[in-house]
Structure 1
Amino acid sequence: MELSDVAIFCAIVSAGSLSGAGRQSGLSPMSVSRRLAALEEELGVRLFHRTTRAVALTADGETFLPLAQAMLDARNAALAAFSDCRDGLGGVLKVTAPNRIGRALVVPLVVKLMAANPHLQIDLTLTDGIVDIVAAGIDVAVRVAPLQMSELIATKLADNPRILCASPAYIKARGRPKKLSDIDAHSCLTLHAMDGWTFRTGERVVTKRISGRLAANSVDAVRAACLAGAGIAMLTYWDVAEDLADKTLMSIALSDAEPEALAIWAILPTRLYMPPRARAFIDAMKAALVASGP
């Protein structure tokens, strides 16, 4: 089996089309189609459903995808092990992270990694949505949301406590809630499809229903509204660390409950092989979070 054909298969998955894979690989769509056909013939299965505009993995294609990525990972491991490069890390590190943490932590960190490793390239996707890291060929996903059961590999980087907070202007105008039931009298700023906040009260975990006049699709938007004095928000430490430090936001502690804790995780697509550049990124993230964390 030609690894170049396997790489074309993965490029088609990543790009979502034969023409997109051709642009990534420097090949014509016809050449990409021939290479894919050769791979399908060798495997004896059809890997994609094709239309004039797009492609979609067949069931066999979905089965083959993690195997294909493992083959390419093994090739990259061999190249890295015997590389003549003496100038540090190389290749392309593909990372995805939430918007706020990405800008505050990940961007400065990868800039330092690039400065220390002239042959390293970074492909960074910042989004508050969940990326299919296998289909997108991501090396490391930085995530904060509670993890769902999956075959992905998770490494905890640091604690990331949730914090109730509001601007000084809001607290001056509306007061500071002192216990969980006091939240009913306040305007709460929420993310879309979130009608409750989770708290721990002693040994119990409870979900407090909340209401307010503003809901948004991103943490950045909720934070901006909170800074503007529109209400109380529940955000994580790394969303508001700078705001708490310069006192543009104030934390709110309740006497009978505290927000359920979260953590920052590094999510990897496979345990079979971790590129050295991914390991370096994870180690650097851990160090940065420990150095400036709560």
Structure 2
Amino acid sequence: MAEGGVYPWKIQKVEAFGPTADYSNLSKPLPSPPDGMVWDQDVTTKEWKLISSPEQKAVVPKNEENKETLNDDIDVLKQMAREEEKQKERQKSAGPTHIQHIILPTDTLAGICLKYKISAVKVRQINRFSGSNLHLAPNPLIIPIVDPQLLVDGVIKVQNTESREFKRGAFRARFLSLRDGEITSYLEMNNWDLEAAMQNAKDDIAWEKSQQQPPPPPKKELEDISSLALEAHIAIPVTTTTTSVKKKKKNIELELGSVTAKKQEQRNPLTTTKKQMKGLFRPLLPR
């Protein structure tokens, strides 16, 4: 039985209710602090608390206090203006919000996430696939850039489609039957032009297929038994003649089946010798 709120020690009973909140006192000022204490407000939490008052508080003229507050306000405004300018510069110099990544045979989902500083869940959501098998994902992948500044600073590096390693991987993904040496040879013969090398390999494979021997013709399928015509043959009784009187005459029956149909056309079963018809004779069954 699963645990629930059925046991006595699981049941909570409300014995008393606290006072209701009264917001009418919020607009009233704080009460006077006790002797030797002052009210102090926390800048982050905006809460007031009592602290011990300093023994000697420096008396500052009102004019000097106004000057200090004015200078503080000016510094704050300058700082805000600087931050706005920096934000505008980042937006101007920032790269695109997403990039494309062509899947190579050596790529994995974990490696792509580490390279572009993004979670696997986000990659699956953007590209609409599940699991970690990149063969089921669209190619190329759309990779969102969470922080464009990382792309500007060089922390995230875009896939270099002009590098030789990328061209080898893209060629290998297209032609899985070729070896690494053959892939490099095709690229070198075409001056590392990926499209031209792929077209050259495609033409060679098509020529090899055309030079191969044609496949043997398919075997004829067996005819349907239901379409065959059945023929019934009548057994012909044959008597054997012997020179000896002691031997009894035996009536044997000749079966004309479909297997011996061709033999029957060539010879007359009535004139066939006993040795030749030995495998076809059997004693005549009683009528």
- Give the structure with the larger helix fraction: 1
TM tier, smaller: under 0.3
Give the TM-score normalised by structure 1. 0.16
TM-score under structure 2 normalisation? 0.16
